[in-house]
Amino acid sequence: METKSCRILFMGTSEISSYVLESLILANYNVVGAISQPDKAVGRKKILTPTSVKLVCQKYHINCYQPIKIRNDFEFVKDLKPDVIITFAYGQIVPQELLDIPTIGSINLHGSILPKLRGAAPIQRAIINGDKITGITLMEMVNKMDAGKMYAKKYLNIDDDDNSTTLFNKMKILAKDVILEYLPLYINGSLKGEEQDESQVSFANMIKKDDEKLKLDLTCKQFINWVRGLSENPGGYLYFKNKKLILYKVKLSLLSPSNCLGEIINADKNSLTFSLKDGAIDILELKLEGKNKMSYKDFVNGHHDLLGEILS
C-alpha cells in the first residue's frame, strides 16, 4: 500500500496527542477522522471547551467524533474504512471489536518504556518514582491495558528540574518522531514486534484527587518528586491556615529540620522552609487558594509571623 494513501483514524484527547495528530496531517497522511473525549466544562464559569484534538480537527476540516462511551458507540468507524488506527492519550478503554476494524491494525503510542509503567499516568508516575529515563513505545493495541507487542522505542532522559509539564512537552516531540519514523514501516508490514516480558510489568495508575494532597511522612526526596510529578497541573498541595497551598517548585534545603512535620522554620528573603522527617524543604513557587501563582518572596512579604506555622 502507498504509505500516504493509507486511511488513518486517530484517537486522542489532550494537547500532547493533538501535537502528534497535527504532525501526521502536516506530513500529508490521509487522516480520515479522529475520535476524542466529549467536550468538558472548564473554569469557574463552566465554559464548554473543545478538546485539543477537536481543535486540530476543526483547523484542518477533519471530522471529530466524541462518543461518551466508545465501547457502546463505535459503529460509525466501519463507515470510515480505516486501514490503521493510531491512539495516543485518548482516555478510554478501546474495545477489541473496534480494534479489529482496520485492515492493517491498531497501534498505540505509550508514554513509557514498556513493559514498565503500563496505565493512565506513565509520565507523571515516572517522575514521582524518581526515574531518570523514560521514553515512548510504539505498540500493538490489544484488549488488555498496554499489553500488546512492542514495535519501536525511543528513550528520553528525565532531568532533575523536569516536572510533568516539561516532560509532557519533551514526550510529545518524541512521540511525533516515533510515529513519523515507524508508521511507514508498520503500514508496509516491516515491523514484526516483540512480546512484552510479563515478569517486568509495572503500572502507572491514574492520578486521582486524593493523590494531589501531599504527604508529610515522605522523605525529602520523595516529597520533591511528588511535587514535580504533579506540577504544573493539577498541582500538589498542603494546607496553610485551612487553605490549599499548591506547591509548584521546591528544593532540598540546607537548613536542619525541627521535630515537627510541616513546621515553617524559615521565612525571609532567603527562603521559605518547612520540616520533613529527614530534612527540610525550600518552597520556590506556590499558589495560595484564591490567589495567583507567586514566588516564595511574594508570599513571605504578604504574610507576617510565618515562623512556627504548620503546613498540614
Is the confidence at residue 1, as pLDDT, over 80?
A: no
Range name among 40-44, 237-241, 282-286 with the lowest pLDDT average: 40-44
Among residues 148, 173, 200, which one ends one of the domains? 200
Is the confidence at residue 151, as pLDDT, over 80?
A: yes
Q: pLDDT class for 182, splitting at 50, 70, 90? A: very high
Q: Are residues 262 and 175 in the same domain?
A: no
Where residue 229 sits, what CATH number does that domain have? 3.10.25.10
pLDDT tens figures, 295-305? 999 999 999 89
Among residues 148, 177, 200, which one ends one of the domains? 200
Q: Are residues 170 and 292 in the same domain?
A: no
CA distance 176 to 310: 45
Dihedral Cα 278, 284, 286, 291, nearest 10 deg: 140
Region 109-136: mean pLDDT is: 98
Whether 310 is covered by a domain: the verdict is no
Is the confidence at residue 3, as pLDDT, over 90?
A: no
Q: Are residues 129 and 36 in the same domain?
A: yes
Q: Are residues 30 and 145 in the same domain?
A: yes
Q: pLDDT class for 46, splitting at 50, 70, 90? A: confident
Is the confidence at residue 253, as pLDDT, over 80?
A: yes
Region 231-256: mean pLDDT is: 97
Whether 129 is covered by a domain: the verdict is yes
Whether 165 is covered by a domain: the verdict is yes
Is the confidence at residue 2, as pLDDT, over 90?
A: no
Whether 311 is covered by a domain: the verdict is no
CB–CB of 82/102 below 8 Å?
yes
Region 7-15: mean pLDDT is: 97
Domain region containing 270: 209-302
Q: Are residues 38 and 165 in the same domain?
A: yes
Whether 308 is covered by a domain: the verdict is no
pLDDT tens figures, 257-296? 999 999 999 999 999 999 999 999 999 999 999 999 999 9
Region 237-247: mean pLDDT is: 98
Where residue 65 sits, what CATH number does that domain have? 3.40.50.170
List beta partners, residue 5: none
Among residues 200, 218, 246, which one ends one of the domains? 200
Q: Is 147 exposed, middle or buried (0-12, 13-18, 19+ CB in 10 A)?
A: middle
Q: Are residues 293 and 161 in the same domain?
A: no
Whether 54 is covered by a domain: the verdict is yes
Whether 217 is covered by a domain: the verdict is yes
Q: How many domains does the chain have?
A: 2
Range name among 139-143, 179-183, 250-254 with the lowest pLDDT average: 139-143
Q: Are residues 196 and 213 in the same domain?
A: no
Whether 255 is covered by a domain: the verdict is yes
Q: Are residues 59 and 153 in the same domain?
A: yes
CB–CB of 158/229 below 8 Å?
no
Residue tagged 468538558 (cell numbers): 40
Q: Is 280 exposed, middle or buried (0-12, 13-18, 19+ CB in 10 A)?
A: buried
